[in-house]
């Protein structure tokens, strides 16, 4: 019997059981690779070896903490080849997930037995990489090129039964370990090693059509295309394609894209555990009330139902409650129509949901979230009513985007239970949840907010109190610099094109038209009295609102729109308005290149993020980056504005911000040089 801290071998008769035990996901660290290599030697002399894993999953990937260092022997491709070449054949016994290096190991085994819910994939594309141990060379030979493209280029994960239909799994069993003895007792003839198989025929234009689809979807990210190129190497012998794959994998580890995506991967874990909740106890919330059944309230209710909670939605009258009921049912029915929910699940969700008029229905809720108009008096009235009926320690949460929670909760007893839970629309789709704490908010309440966010499958980020919190404060700065560029010479389509070229899904003016110009206008009006008189203020957006150009729903905003068509069309009226505004202000309009535009806007974002951190509103750069990625469409493969500023050089970003400040005297506060952030 071979026993190490991470890999053990136990001989039972003529069967060797090899077990990996490297929690939490049995990653292929250096020690695991060495243990597997030693295990291959140890099983020689037996009839068959069974590779399984302790804990909740099979091997679910590589150890990314090692990716910034030079590779250390034994290298994973060599270990995998040793498994495939072993005189004693291996059976992979799979539960949980076999991802990345874990799937590559499984493909090197002679047979694969898996639980029905086991997941298989090559998610390296999500961290800017291609597989590095034969994944792109074995997978097409095992399941065909189309499935390989889906998994390697698009990051698709397949369940065991779907993979079995493609020939990638030999046996699907409820309990793979229980099924192993019967399988090895009547062991089938050893198949041809996957690396030596021919690739099943595929359409001659598959690679090219896939490349076009990837280019459209990737929005500048290169790793999907890198994976497609690697898959094309299966036209060569495995002995030639696999070393090429390995070399490219190692080179991509050092790319800006991979560094950014790995930063985002780890940042999601960092923000889930802010220092404030260390040692705090979270409540297990099962019943919530949502006040307000509009688009936001219905979205929050749907997200909560998807998270397994019981939901009571409260409206001001029976008619509004009926409309809210229909709105939530429509959102759930849409999930059924898209195949993301079964009819049985729909019935279960609707059993746990009710829309009513009257606050008394919130009496048994453990947490209530208001999603009403962005009006202080309205929100205060909501919480006064909720406090009448709910338990003294029930959590009260505001979904405000801009208003100060201290004002909203003024007069509410036991403010330790009060918190901001700022969802982003549509709330059942968008992953970001800003959790806003007041000085009075208890750590246990904050911890409960994070636990709820996890149930709702959100990326939760802690924020302190300021106007707009983290996300909308940065959005205001983003839009302000974009407006300065308009006044000084750019046009909306040029600003939008520059930001799309950077990787944003849409530019600031397309986004404003999509979401509507009214809310930002109302917020500017609210802040008018306290605005620094030295700050440059561009009124073009206000003029559009005064002309009732509120965006797509109005058929016109920064662009114009045809009935039933959301495609933005340049509008001469708007462009003339902009040029007239510049002339009235005595501005000589200048030309800006796409690089000029994006560098200024990105510098503003990084500067505002640094100010937010230095002011204690955000805990760290990871918090700022996650808000931007998950709430505002900042390209994940850029890592967020703070990561991007580090990637191009803090000095470069800081210099661009100084240029912006010089162009707009008195309008910007410059963060302390953020080199230490």
How far is residue 113's CA from residue 136's CA, in Å, rounded to a whole number? 21
595 to each of 257, 538, 653, 662, how far by Cα in Å? 19, 22, 13, 18
13 to each of 17, 42, 54, 87, how far by Cα in Å? 10, 14, 21, 17
Q: Is the peptide bond before 551 cis (omega within 30 degrees of 0)?
A: no
Strands 310-315 and 158-159: unpaired
How far is residue 356's CA from residue 223's CA, in Å, rounded to a whole number? 49
Contacts of 87 (CB under 8 A, 6+ apart): 44
The yes-or-no answer on residue 240 being catalytic is no
Contacts of 519 (CB under 8 A, 6+ apart): 374, 401
Q: What order do you get walking across the sheet with 90-94 strand by strand?
A: 2-3, 7-12, 15-20, 48-53, 90-94, 111-114, 171-172
Contacts of 145 (CB under 8 A, 6+ apart): 199, 200, 202, 206, 207, 231, 234
CA atoms within 13 Å, Cβ hemisphere of 636 = 15
Q: Which member of 10, 66, 73, 104 is catalytic?
A: 104
Q: Which member of 73, 84, 124, 622 is catalytic?
A: 124
How far is residue 469's CA from residue 422's CA, in Å, rounded to a whole number? 9
**3-class state of residue 357 by DSSP:** strand
Helices 572-584, 471-488: axis angle to 10 degrees equals 80
Alpha-helical segments (H) within 49-175: 76-85, 101-108, 135-143, 145-152, 160-165
Residue 239's H or E segment, with its range, is helix 238-253
What end-to-end distance do the CA atoms of the chain give, in Å?
50
The yes-or-no answer on residue 73 being catalytic is no
How far is residue 658's CA from residue 604's CA, in Å, rounded to a whole number? 10
Active site residues: 104, 124
């Amino acid at each position: 019997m071979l026993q190490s801290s991470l890999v053990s071998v136990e001989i039972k008769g003529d069967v060797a059981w090899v077990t990996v035990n490297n929690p939490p996901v049995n990653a292929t660290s250096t020690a695991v690779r060495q243990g597997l290599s030693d295990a291959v030697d140890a099983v020689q002399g037996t009839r068959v070896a069974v590779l399984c894993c302790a804990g909740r999953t099979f091997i679910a990937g590589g150890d990314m903490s090692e990716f910034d260092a030079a590779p250390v022997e034994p290298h994973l491709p060599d270990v995998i080849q040793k498994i495939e070449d072993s005189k004693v054949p291996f059976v992979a016994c799979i539960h949980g997930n076999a991802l990345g290096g874990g799937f590559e190991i499984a493909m090197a085994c002679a047979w694969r037995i898996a639980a029905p819910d086991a997941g298989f994939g090559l998610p390296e594309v999500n961290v800017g990489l291609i597989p590095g141990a034969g994944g792109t060379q074995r997978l097409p030979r095992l399941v065909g090129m189309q499935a390989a493209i889906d998994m390697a280029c698009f990051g698709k994960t397949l369940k065991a039964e779907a993979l079995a239909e493609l020939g990638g799994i030999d046996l699907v069993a409820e309990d793979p370990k229980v099924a192993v003895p019967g399988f090895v007792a009547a062991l089938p003839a050893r198949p041809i090693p996957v690396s030596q198989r021919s690739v099943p025929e595929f359409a001659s234009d598959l690679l090219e059509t896939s490349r076009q689809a990837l280019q459209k979807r990737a929005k500048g990210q290169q790793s999907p295309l890198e994976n497609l190129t690697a898959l094309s190497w299966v036209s060569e012998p495995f002995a030639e394609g696999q070393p090429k794959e390995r070399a490219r994998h190692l080179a991509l580890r050092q790319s800006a894209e991979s560094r950014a995506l790995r930063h985002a991967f780890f940042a999601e874990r960092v923000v889930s555990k802010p220092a404030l909740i260390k040692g705090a106890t979270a409540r297990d919330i099962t019943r919530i009330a949502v006040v307000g059944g509009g688009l936001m309230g219905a979205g929050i209710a749907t997200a909560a139902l998807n998270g397994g909670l019981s939901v009571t939605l409260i409206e001001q009258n029976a008619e509004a409650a009926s409309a809210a009921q229909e709105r939530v049912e429509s959102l759930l029915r849409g999930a059924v129509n898209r195949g993301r929910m079964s009819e049985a699940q729909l019935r279960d969700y609707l059993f746990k949901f009710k829309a009513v008029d009257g606050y008394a229905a919130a009496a048994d809720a453990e947490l209530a979230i208001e999603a009403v108009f962005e009006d202080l008096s309205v929100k205060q009235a909501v919480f006064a009513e909720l406090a009448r009926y709910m338990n003294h320690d029930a959590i009260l949460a505001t979904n405000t985007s801009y208003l100060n929670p201290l004002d909203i909760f003024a007069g509410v007893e036991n403010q330790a239970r009060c918190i901001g839970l700022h969802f982003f629309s549509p709330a059942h789709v968008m992953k970001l949840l800003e959790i806003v704490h007041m000085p009075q908010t208890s750590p246990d309440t904050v911890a409960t907010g994070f636990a709820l966010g996890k149930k709702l499958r959100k990326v939760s980020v802690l924020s302190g109190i300021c106007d707009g919190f983290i996300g909308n404060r940065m959005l205001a700065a983003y839009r302000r610099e974009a407006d300065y560029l308009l006044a000084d010479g750019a046009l909306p389509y040029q600003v939008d094109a520059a930001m799309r070229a950077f990787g944003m899904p849409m530019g600031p003016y397309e986004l404003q038209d999509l979401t509507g110009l009214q809310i930002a206008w109302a917020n500017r009006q609210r802040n008018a009295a306290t605005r620094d008189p030295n700050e440059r203020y561009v009124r073009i957006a206000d003029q559009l609102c005064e002309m009732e150009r509120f965006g797509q729903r109005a058929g016109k905003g920064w662009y114009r729109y045809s009935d039933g068509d959301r495609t933005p069309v340049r509008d001469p009226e708007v462009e003339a308005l902009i040029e007239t505004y510049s002339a009235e202000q005595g501005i000589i309009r200048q030309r800006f290149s796409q690089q000029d535009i994006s560098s200024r806007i990105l510098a503003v974002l990084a500067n505002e993020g640094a100010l937010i951190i230095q002011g204690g509103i955000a805990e760290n750069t990871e918090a700022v980056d996650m808000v931007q990625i998950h709430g505002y469409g900042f390209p994940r493969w850029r890592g967020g504005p703070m990561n991007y500023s580090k990637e191009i050089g803090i000095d470069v970003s800081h210099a661009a911000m100084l240029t912006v400040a010089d162009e707009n005297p008195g309008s910007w506060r410059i963060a302390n040089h953020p080199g230490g952030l």
